[in-house]
Amino acid sequence: MKKLISVLFGVALFCGAALGQEKRPPGREISAQAEHVRSSGNDLLHFRFRQAHEKHLAEARRRNEGIARDLRGEGEPLPKPRGW
């Protein structure tokens, strides 16, 4: 019985808090949602470009490291061209 009363009191408190909040006019609500969607879309686009840029930099680093290693003569020698 005590649990039931505490649950009902919690529900009543939650409903009172929800009803006590000020209402936004419909136009303002839609513009707030549009702004949120726009910023979320920009964040996702920025994240995608940043990931692509990091991938490109990693590939360039690996390629440059391989070229430098070949020039220093480290590791396996370069294969001879055919016909030599």
Q: Strand, helix or coil at 15?
A: helix
**Residue 39, domain member (yes or no):** yes
Q: Phi first, then psi: what are they for 36, rounded to 5°?
A: -65, -45
| pLDDT of amino acid 25 | 67
pLDDT score of 21 more than 90: no
Q: How many domains does the chain have?
A: 1
pTM (2 d.p.):
0.41
Domain that residue 61 falls in: 31-73
If you count them, how many residues does the chain have? Answer: 84
Q: Is there a contact between 56 and 48 (Cβ–Cβ < 8 Å)?
A: no
53-69 per-position pLDDT tens digit: 999 999 999 999 888 88
Average pLDDT over residues 24-51: 80
pLDDT score of 35 more than 70: yes
| pLDDT of amino acid 59 | 93
Q: Strand, helix or coil at 55?
A: helix
**Residue 20, domain member (yes or no):** no
pLDDT confidence tier of residue 84, bands split at 50, 70 and 90: low
Rounded to whole angstroms, how far apart are CA atoms 33 and 29?
Answer: 6
